[in-house]
Amino acid sequence: MSVTPEQVKKLREQSGAPMMECKKALEEAGGDQEKAFTILRKRGQASAAKKAGRVASEGVIGSYIHPGAKIGVIVEVNCETDFVARNEEFQQLAHDLAMQVCATDPRFIRKEDVTADILGREKEVLRDQAKSTGKPEAVLDRIVEGKLSKFYEDNCLYEQHFIKDTTGTMTIGELLTSKIAKFGENITVRRFARFKVGEGLTKERAESAAAS
């Protein structure tokens, strides 16, 4: 079936994929917007997997200062070439990621970055919670694994839902995947720092008092 330019434009805005890829996905999905979006996601994931091992040593530092100047974020986003780093859309991505960190305050970039001791403590808490509801021992591990997804979403940047996605379904990991597919380069978040006025002062004062 033929798809309209309006459909293609809407899917492009939603996914960030090239126009022709959006058109092909819509035709494959019979004009269904959500199915077409899923098709693009899967293609992007396959493309990203192939590029994941490539060195990304170029990039930019994105920043965001929240109105009121009480919270600020800087984030390093890497790509493979200076050509992509200078692209306006790539620089906007870095800004959006800084805004995401400001809004959601993640502790880690990826699930794999969660330290073993923190993960172990979280599993213990979730297990105790499940046990207190009277759940049988045989299903506790399954319940814990299921609830860990919420922990990852709260604490890991790549697992969080992108705050500017109007559908509420795209994660930061999927956003990066769509950009990898579009630019044809590996794109990663290397590090970030979030600053909040007054944060940590109580602890610092306590440590200073204890030392004096």
Ranges for all domains in the chain classified under CATH 1.10.286: 115-153
Structure tokens at 153: 């979403």
Q: Based on the number of CB atoms within 10 Å of its own CB, is 147 exposed (0-12), middle (13-18) or buried (19 or more)?
A: middle
Using an 8 Å Cβ cutoff, are 191 and 75 in contact? yes
Q: Give the predicted TM-score (pTM) of the model.
A: 0.73
Cα angle at 171 between 190 and 177, to 5 degrees?
60
Instruction: Provide the pLDDT for residue 24.
Output: 86
Which residues is 194 bridged to in the sheet? 73
Task: Tell me what the pLDDT averaged over the chain comes to.
Answer: 86
Superfamily (CATH) of domain 1-51: Ubiquitin-associated (UBA) domain (1.10.8.10)
The DSSP call for residue 108 is B
Structure tokens at 29: 């999905």
Q: How many whole angstroms separate alpha carbon 16 and alpha carbon 23? A: 13
User: pLDDT for 152-198, tens place per residue?
Assistant: 999 999 999 999 998 778 899 989 988 888 888 899 999 999 999 98
Q: How many whole angstroms separate alpha carbon 194 and alpha carbon 84? A: 25
User: pLDDT for 18-66, tens place per residue?
Assistant: 778 888 888 888 888 888 888 877 776 556 566 666 778 899 999 999 9
**H-helix segments, the chain:** 5-15, 19-28, 33-51, 82-85, 88-104, 116-132, 137-155, 172-183, 201-211
**CATH fold group of domain 115-153:** GTP Cyclohydrolase I; Chain A, domain 1 (1.10.286)
Q: How many whole angstroms separate alpha carbon 126 and alpha carbon 132? A: 10
Ranges for all domains in the chain classified under CATH 1.10.8.10: 1-51
